[in-house]
Amino acid sequence: MVQSRADGATVQAWIELRTDDPEALSALGVVRSRLDAGRSLAGLRRLRLFELHGRLPARAEIEALLHRSTWFYNPHKERCTLRASSREGSPVAIGEQAVLVVERGGERCPSAERWWLHETGQAIEVRTGLAWLLRFEPGGEAAARAAELAVVTGRAHGLLCNPNAQDHALAAAGHLPLPWIGSEPGRRPGGARKRGTT
Amino acid sequence: MNVAAGVRAAWTEAEAADPAAVSATLRARGVSLDPDEVSLLAELLGRPPWWPEAVLFGILWSEHCSYKSTRHLLGRLPTSAPQVVIGPGEDAGVVALPAPCEDLVLVLAHESHNHPSQVLPVEGAATGVGGIVRDVGCMGAEVIGVLDALRFGDPRAGVHARDVTRGVVQGIADYGNALGVPNLGGDVVFDRGFDSNCLVNVMALGLAPRDGILHSRVPEGGGPWAFVLVGKPTDESGFGGAAFASDELGGDQRGAVQLPDPFLKRVLHVANAEAFRRVRERGVTAGFKDLGAGGVACATSEMAAAGGCGARIDLERLHRVARPLPPEVLLCAETQERYCWVVPEAFAPELCAIYNREFALDQVAPGAGASIIGRALEERRYQVGWDDDLLVDCPIEAITAGRRVLRPARRRPPAAPAKPRREDAPPREALLALLRSLNQGSREYLFRHYDSEVQGRTWLRPGEADAAVVRVHPERGLGIAVAVGGNPYWCESDPELGARHAVAEAARNVACAGGRPWALTDCLNFGHPEDTRVMGDLEATLEGLAVAAESLGQLASHGHPLPFVSGNVSLYNQTGDHAVPPSPIVMCVGVVRDLSCAMGLGLRRPGDFLVLVGEPRDELSGSAYLRDVLRERGGAPPTLDLAREARLQELAVLAAEGGWARAAHDVSDGGLALALAEMALATPLERPLGLDVDFEALETSAELAMFSERPGIVFEVSPERAARLFQAARDRSLLAWPIAAVTPQPRLRARVPGGGTVEWRLDELRAAAGAALERLWNEELA
Amino acid sequence: MKPRVAVVQFPGVNCEAETARALERVGLEAEIFRWMRPESEFARFDAYVLPGGFSYQDRVRGGALAAKHPLVERLAERAAKGAPVLGICNGAQVLVEAGLVPGGGAVELALARNRMPGRAGYYARWVRVRIAPSRCLFTSTLEAGTVLPLPVAHGEGRFTARAAGRVAELAAAGQAPLRYTGAGDEASPAFPDNPNGSEEAVAGMCNAEGNVLALMPHPERAQDLGALSRAASGPWADRRDARLEVALQAGAGRAAAGDDDGPGLAIFAGLARHLAGRGRA
């Protein structure tokens, strides 16, 4: 059941490991050595993205709540960056291509929503997805390569999203939508989402 | 990096005049040495220590590593019996197995990871499993099972208590499942007493060839010997963890928890197995030890000390993370997933190649691998070098000196038996209330998180029998049964009697599955040793454990105690004035002579009888019924006649081995009524069986008959075998009652003294039993 | 000489030993093939099993990284020539991510995160699977309609496809030889009989030729009759109970001689029969 997005604000929480991310390192190694489109991939980061939607408190209080809860991130090993408007900067660095991967039908976080309601008395929606940030060596069509790596279509093509169970969206630094998760492509003018193609 | 800082003296000759001030200054810099230890260390070295030495001894002499407050008490525990191959002292204990598995030994270890799990539940519990698996693995064993005994706060007490519970379960599952070691159960208790200090005890079992045990020491003679470090690249993680486990929780201590990597650990274990094979095939003599608290420093110095020689470690040879780290961090960090070999220098390159080339650990975790980091010295000195500097240079005697701190103890009188003050509750509602309670409800919701079957050895899974049962070898019928015991309510009101019960319960569970109790491990989870009451409780607990173990060893070796072969002490489980209840947690392993006679707890066949062997009549004190139904403090535990208990366990084992009984279940938390409900609930969902019960047969009041927790065992017997069981009970002066008949109807129907007939449908019992844990995972209980 | 089967060991798998044992029990020669071994040695085997576990720690998705390993390319070549390939649990995830199931090289399916009321993540339990008519060689010794008790243990086991109806289409085409079932014969059992919300209750999916099977339950954990879950009921449980009864009558330590084959062994027996009948690939 999706509530109307007309009411309330949306805040993004970007979560990144403080240390080297073994998952991103493994993926980078495989992409570079096995996939044609990945030979020029120079760097790969993995961030978890939460979008909180509803009647939200002030930014500092959101930060404190996220820090306190165990449903969002672990401050001991991860850092969290909030983004409350599309004008704000994002963790996506200049030159990076972002690939968002969302479990189809599994983007909502009922446990986190329940926790939030219990702590604040406010019912909000929490959605989550995984953002892969790709940095390519200069001299190529980065966006096209990112698109090719995004969707797995065969042994030699794509990795990050299996379109049979996951949706994905692409964005470049500086053009990161807010909200980004779960909005229907038809409903957003100039929608950033691309459905994967086979 | 400032190497000079590494070799500076930790304090000057002038400062040494005031050990208390030195101690305070060190503490502020994260090194725990009390004033006596400050003086002792300078005396042992003949000079004030250098900074890395202060760090090393701060860890070696921490409570966690040195048992300085408790070592003198631990001598009370019986540790020898003919089946013991290695008793306490190494990373794990080792016991021999009977025919047809004489060529194999069973390796056992038991640890706590309480403080880390309270602070960072997922990582804390995961590294707990990681550590215990290393303890067993480093004896040259294949790890075949882990268990966990968990004590959590009341989930209604606050969000953190719930987070700890869910996080610990997730940590155990994430790590253990990926590692490929089956989870063989354990237990879990929720109580206010653990609100600020959860307990996470982890246990592991392994199998090794009898002639292939690796010791944690530099081997005798031969040489020259090389130290080879294998596994994850050393980083700063967990720095100071040993000191951390020996201090009360407070402030933000999250920096001391290590980060687990089950993927690397899995591959490392496969590589270790190959290394074991190679070492045995080639007849190479070797020592092997896991790295835990104190990291490289503790592992290498202890291996040298145990081998009666010295060691020279060159830290610059360590494989480590790229970022620069001070040498004392490299020396003492608790980076996970590491082991240390000692092998002949000539074999060291081949050993390194297994990890670096054949298994390419570097591709599994960047920087992981094997490196030669030092050599054994004939001279009994322990030296650590860093390029051209010497960071540590001390006599081995200083390493082995050991610390002893005298802690005054005050024993307290045990609590009086409690009598229910209120009216008794209606029996029908009382049983449902017990099942609905967090502590007596079904554990199935938890078990489903865990892989209990990987390796294909598991014969009886958690929840299917009183003890989990695994097969030792695919072509042989021998099995191992394993279970844990420890009732915090009983230990709180009477530490000594509670401890006796902990041993008896663990052994009884093993016996109910058809296992001969073979060996014990323990962990003693207590508060501050400075608190005289805590030390008094600890003394009483050790007395209780010892007395019970001395009485229950006859099924393994006649005339011998049931030996404790490994154990651990966890102190400082205390916040402010509030210590956890005295919590000895005991694991018992048993030998099932033939798997075909292992007994489950679920009912098997309509028309069979249930026979209760025990004396359930005279006590309600200490029961879950008092706590969870009548909401009263439980009071003292039921009495325990150890001689009678030994005969009861013998009866269970003979009933299994002789094929007299089809199923068995012990009477414990929740009493006979709960035991019977559990036996019915353990039948297959699609082919449920029920019971016609006659509580009147016990000739006592309804609540005593149903809910007394005086130990006993319920056996399922066929009509034609019942006489044999009764006779065997009589021969052992044990009272036996026919208590129920197995029926094909999915219900429990009972004649209750003074209450006519009461009936429960199996599906309502099942719903009640499953409710508590499912709610805990799906609701924010206010 | 016995047919040779490679048990392919990617880093992080953890069921290789018991899988090899199950293969040996049905008369095959099993060899654990480590990921570091030269690719050139890979083609020498008559059949391949990808055992369960956590290859590459399920990084990115279960099976996703192992599916890119050069050995899987060799595996695809062997499969195309008809060599039998069985992927169990994590091995099934690899086959799906590699496009070997349902076949043709395109990634047409996913083994998505479990959907379970009241819980999330990893789930371990014994379930029942029913054999459906198919060309799958691994179920060739079993009549359609046969029910096997088998354990599942995974967090990502839900067969699904982007194209609506695709899973049903594959099932109708005989490519879903094993389906979760309840106590009756209902077509779409609910949780926990269907433990992960798999479409069409598919537990195992094969390619059109029937020589490649992606199977989520663990047959190698059900190779011993005596180790059958006590929660299981039906003919296999009856057989186990009968054996226990014989042992009970015989008394201590005299286990009944005879057949101790558990239900899971049938999957490996199908492979053995195929290899025996067909000669070497």
| Residue A104 forms contact with B (CB below 8 Å) | no
Closest CA to C136 of C271, C279, C276: C271
Q: Is there a contact between C14 and B266 (Cβ–Cβ < 8 Å)?
A: yes
Closest CA to B665 of B433, B505, B553, B536: B505
Q: Is there a contact between B328 and B315 (Cβ–Cβ < 8 Å)?
A: no
Mean of pLDDT over chain A: 87
CA distances from A3 to A7, A57, A183, B158 (A): 9, 19, 11, 30
Of the pLDDT bands very low, low, confident and very high (cuts 50, 70, 90), residue A177 is very high
Of C15, C89, C136, C206, the active-site residue reads C89
Of B72, B110, B113, B215, the active-site residue reads B113
Distance CA B87, CA C262 (A): 39
Q: What is the pLDDT of residue B598?
A: 94
CA distances from B648 to B47, B121, B735, C253 (A): 61, 39, 10, 21
Instruction: Report helix, strand or coil for B438.
Output: coil
**Interval B61-75: pLDDT, tens:** 888 888 888 888 999
CA distances from C188 to C125, C142, C180, C184, C215 (A): 18, 21, 8, 11, 18
Q: Which amino acid is at C204?
A: G
In chain C, what is the straight-line distance between the N-terminal and C-terminal CA atoms, in Å? 14
Residues of chain C with Cβ-Cβ distance to B686 below 8 Å are 183, 233-234
Closest CA to B144 of B290, B289, B273, B271: B273
**Interval B362-406: pLDDT, tens:** 999 999 999 999 999 999 999 999 988 899 999 988 888 778 888
Helices (H), chain A: 22-34, 59-68, 110-120, 142-150
The closest CB to that of B167, out of A70, A76, A117, belongs to: A70
Distance CA C62, CA C137 (A): 25
Number of CB atoms found within 10 A of residue B111's CB:
25
Provide the angle, in degrees to the nearest 10, between the axes of the packed helices B495-512 and B532-551.
Answer: 40
Closest CA to C68 of A154, A111, B351: A154
| Average pLDDT estimate for B758-773 | 96
| Residue A23 forms contact with C (CB below 8 Å) | yes
For the cut 50, the answer to whether the pLDDT of residue A2 exceeds it is no
Across the interface, whether the CB atoms of A27 and C109 are under 8 A apart is answered no
- Percent of chain A exceeding pLDDT 70 equals 88
Across the interface, whether the CB atoms of A23 and C110 are under 8 A apart is answered no
In chain A, what is the straight-line distance between the N-terminal and C-terminal CA atoms, in Å? 29
Provide the angle, in degrees to the nearest 10, between the axes of the packed helices A59-68 and A110-120.
Answer: 120
For the cut 50, the answer to whether the pLDDT of residue B241 exceeds it is no
Q: Is there a contact between B690 and B411 (Cβ–Cβ < 8 Å)?
A: no
Across the interface, whether the CB atoms of B363 and A29 are under 8 A apart is answered yes
Bridge partners of C152, per DSSP, are C125
| Residue B367 forms contact with A (CB below 8 Å) | no
Buried b (16+ CB within 10 A) or exposed e, B427-460: beebbbbbbbbbbbbbbbbbbbbbbbbbbbbbbb
Going by their DSSP bridges, the two strands C85-88 and C212-215 should be labelled as: parallel
- Chain-centroid distance, C-alpha C154: 13
Of the pLDDT bands very low, low, confident and very high (cuts 50, 70, 90), residue B164 is very high
| Residue B142 forms contact with A (CB below 8 Å) | no
Indicate the range of A5-9, C9-13, C188-192, C236-240 predicted with least confidence.
Answer: A5-9
Across the interface, whether the CB atoms of B178 and C251 are under 8 A apart is answered no
Distance CA C135, CA B368 (A): 46
Q: Is there a contact between B63 and B294 (Cβ–Cβ < 8 Å)?
A: no
List all residues of chain C from 153 to 192 with a beta carbon under 8 Å from chain B: 153, 183
Rg of chain B, C-alpha, whole Å: 27
For residues B730 and B162, which has the higher predicted lDDT (pLDDT)? B730
Distance CA C165, CA C99 (A): 18
Q: Is there a contact between C99 and C107 (Cβ–Cβ < 8 Å)?
A: yes
Across the interface, whether the CB atoms of B261 and A19 are under 8 A apart is answered no
For the cut 90, the answer to whether the pLDDT of residue B454 exceeds it is yes
Going by their DSSP bridges, the two strands B479-485 and B516-525 should be labelled as: unpaired
Q: Is there a contact between C114 and C123 (Cβ–Cβ < 8 Å)?
A: yes
How many alpha carbons fall within 13 Å on the CB side of residue B53? 30
Distance CA B600, CA B459 (A): 10
C20's CB contacts (< 8 A; 6+ apart) are C7, C30, C31, C32
Strand order in the sheet with B142-152: B84-86, B93-96, B104-112, B199-209, B142-152, B183-190
Number of CB atoms found within 10 A of residue A55's CB:
12
For the cut 60, the answer to whether the pLDDT of residue A185 exceeds it is no
Q: What is the pLDDT of residue A127?
A: 97
B778 to chain A, closest Cα gap in Å: 7
Of the pLDDT bands very low, low, confident and very high (cuts 50, 70, 90), residue A189 is very low
| Average pLDDT estimate for A51-76 | 93
H/E run at residue B94: strand B93-96
Distance CA C278, CA C281 (A): 8
Q: What is the pLDDT of residue B208?
A: 97
Using CA coordinates, name the residue in chain A closest to C76: A155
Across the interface, whether the CB atoms of B779 and A77 are under 8 A apart is answered no
Bridge partners of A13, per DSSP, are A50, A82
Instruction: Report helix, strand or coil for B269.
Output: helix
Q: What is the pLDDT of residue B160?
A: 82
Distance CA B182, CA B447 (A): 11
Mean of pLDDT over chain C: 93
**Interval B691-714: pLDDT, tens:** 999 999 998 999 999 999 999 999
Instruction: Report helix, strand or coil for A166.
Output: strand
Of the pLDDT bands very low, low, confident and very high (cuts 50, 70, 90), residue B7 is low
| Residue C231 forms contact with B (CB below 8 Å) | yes
Q: What is the pLDDT of residue B617?
A: 66
C232 to chain A, closest Cα gap in Å: 31
For the cut 70, the answer to whether the pLDDT of residue C257 exceeds it is no
Interface predicted TM-score (ipTM) = 0.96
For the cut 50, the answer to whether the pLDDT of residue C228 exceeds it is yes
For the cut 80, the answer to whether the pLDDT of residue A192 exceeds it is no
Active site residue B113: yes
Instruction: Report helix, strand or coil for A129.
Output: strand
Active site residue B64: yes
Instruction: Report helix, strand or coil for B196.
Output: coil
Rg of chain A, C-alpha, whole Å: 17
**Interval C64-84: pLDDT, tens:** 999 999 999 999 999 999 999
Distance CA A169, CA A150 (A): 9
Question: Looking up tokens 């790969």, which residue turns up?
Answer: A44
For the cut 70, the answer to whether the pLDDT of residue B252 exceeds it is no
Phi-psi region of B251 (alpha: psi -120 to 50; beta: other; left: phi over 0): left
Distance CA A37, CA A50 (A): 29
Computed from CA positions of residues B630, B634, B635, B637, in that sequence, does the dihedral angle turn out positive or negative?
A: positive
Distance CA B28, CA B171 (A): 32
Mean of pLDDT over chain B: 92
Closest CA to B149 of B514, B537, B584, B622: B584
CA distances from B645 to B347, B503, B508, B707 (A): 53, 11, 8, 19
Q: What is the pLDDT of residue B244?
A: 44
For the cut 70, the answer to whether the pLDDT of residue A194 exceeds it is no
Across the interface, whether the CB atoms of C231 and B455 are under 8 A apart is answered no
The first and second tokens of residue C226, run together, are: 């005596």
Distance CA B405, CA B36 (A): 10
| Residue B360 forms contact with A (CB below 8 Å) | no
Q: Is there a contact between B491 and B536 (Cβ–Cβ < 8 Å)?
A: no
Across the interface, whether the CB atoms of C230 and B460 are under 8 A apart is answered yes
C125 to chain B, closest Cα gap in Å: 6
Of the pLDDT bands very low, low, confident and very high (cuts 50, 70, 90), residue B4 is very low
Question: What one-character DSSP code corresponds to residue B157?
Answer: G
Q: What is the pLDDT of residue B403?
A: 83
- Chain-centroid distance, C-alpha A163: 16
Q: What is the pLDDT of residue B481?
A: 98
Buried b (16+ CB within 10 A) or exposed e, B582-613: bbbbbbbbbbbbbbbbbbbbbbbeeebbbbbb
Computed from CA positions of residues B338, B339, B345, B351, in that sequence, does the dihedral angle turn out positive or negative?
A: negative
